[in-house]
Amino acid sequence: MAYLMGIDCGTSSLKTLIIDEDGRVKAVSAQNYQFASPFGGYAEHDPREWWEACVHTIRQDLAESGIDPEQIAGVSFSGQMHGLVMLDEKMEVIRPAILHCDARSGEQVRSIKEKLGEEKVRRLMMNPVYSGFLLVSLLWVKENEPENFRRIAHVMLPKDYLKFRLTGEVSSEYSDASATLAFDVANVRWSEEILKEFDIPAGIFPPLYNTDEAVGNICPAAAKETGLSTKTKVVAGGGDQVMQGIGNGVTKAGGASVNIGTSGQVSFQSDTAIVNPALSTNTFCGYRKGRWITMGAIMNAGLCLKWCNQLLGQSDYKKINEEVAKVVPGSGGVIFLPYLNGERTPHLNPDISGEFVGVNLGTGAPQLTRAVMEGVAYALNQCIELCGDLGLKADGYIVASGGGARSGPWLQIQADVFNYPLKVAETEEQACLGACIAAGVGSGVYKDIEEGCARTVRYKDFTVIPDPKAHAVYEEYYGLFKDIYRAGSSELNKVTLLGRRVDRESKSDLHK
């Protein structure tokens, strides 16, 4: 029996999972950490802390499972996307990594847009230019820390640093690379034209692999630190969105998933690279050449609920869900705009703020909490709507994941707002499981990703079905949600009137 290891390098924690060939969990461990924000809008992290967490969780998993390290056939990765890690010629970290949630580089964003122009951005990058993406952060370093820029011998993404430490070799793969803005998404390669335009040496960028390709073995130094065997294959892995898709069994064109983590994403699988003229969605490479994902991303999802709970002094999630379930759809006329930290899809505005609209004397903690869940669902529905405008539709159902899939009321809210049935994978660590599956392909345990998913991915024994009456209510609220952003306070009276009407109707069978 062979075993597989998946490592997920997230923004706030690193998780390591070991499964057997049939997907049975043998060990899982996590280590939390906190990125630094030395100045307003900055988000940085010393990559060596990720490595320390990686070593700790690997050793913890090996000890917990009692598995002989030589039985670990392969290890692979999922990682937070977009971040910039820089090494010098001695392979030492030059400065803390600049993360995806960093907002310092507004000037560089404007410069890129002005220099390239909208047509070139659309043709070359196929994605909106946004702070926190690797190229933008790299230009910030070039312009603000020229001494550090001159020292750069290698740039990579967060999970690739861990892969480097395990193998001694620098590499990346197509999915994460395509989310840097330094990549030719349509032709699946680093973009010589973009790099030349901004006078960045192409030689600092790593060689690229498919997600499920082996890039080497555990090197002796890493074997000594982690306890892993030098016989274990190290497989390229992918960006967290691609790996969550694999871990959710969403790998074929027409497959769709929605994730509510700290931020939120809606992702559609496609056999073609979708060009969005408005550049309000992202198109990245999938787990192999010839596969792409188109996604809408919101900045604030689970983060909004965490903020709300802190604001209201709530911490018992069982009780929170029970109270939310008692509130009828529409939260008594309260609408929440989840823009606590700006927004990406569809507004591409880092400066907008969140707000509650329609608060009244009947509003209590359950109404505010449910309004937050509904507001996040409305924002994600805008992503689904935009992808639909691009010709992307889900084949029958959407797979829900993240913290939003662990709350019964929030799952039902999503189904009712999206008007799609939802399935939920059994494992809560979909990104880690996706990495395990990739490790299995790269080490020869599985023939391909599809076989790995068939062997390991299982769904819970229920499907969340949309309630037509709740969806009808949400259609009205969703329209107001969009109108409020466009028109501001002129929509307040409509929200109040709709809230009163829904309250009256709550005596009917609208509320389950």
204 within 8 A of 240, measured Cβ to Cβ: no
Token look-up 């996604």 returns 295
88 noted as active-site residue: no
Q: The tokens of 497 are what?
A: 């009137």
Strands 208-209 and 172-173: parallel
Cα dihedral sign, 463-464-469-474: negative
Name the helix (H) or strand (E) containing 62.
Answer: helix 47-65
Catalytic residue (choose from 20, 61, 240, 416): 240
Note the Cα 4 to chain centre separation in Å: 23
Q: 186: exposed, middle or buried (C-beta count within 10 Å: 0-12, 13-18, 19+)?
A: middle
Q: What is the CA radius of gyration of the chain?
A: 23
375 within 8 A of 336, measured Cβ to Cβ: yes
Question: 3-class DSSP state for residue 461?
Answer: coil
- Reference 402, options 473, 297, 308; nearest CA is 297
Question: 3-class DSSP state for residue 234?
Answer: strand
- Reference 268, options 397, 423, 129; nearest CA is 397
Question: Which residues carry out catalysis?
Answer: 240
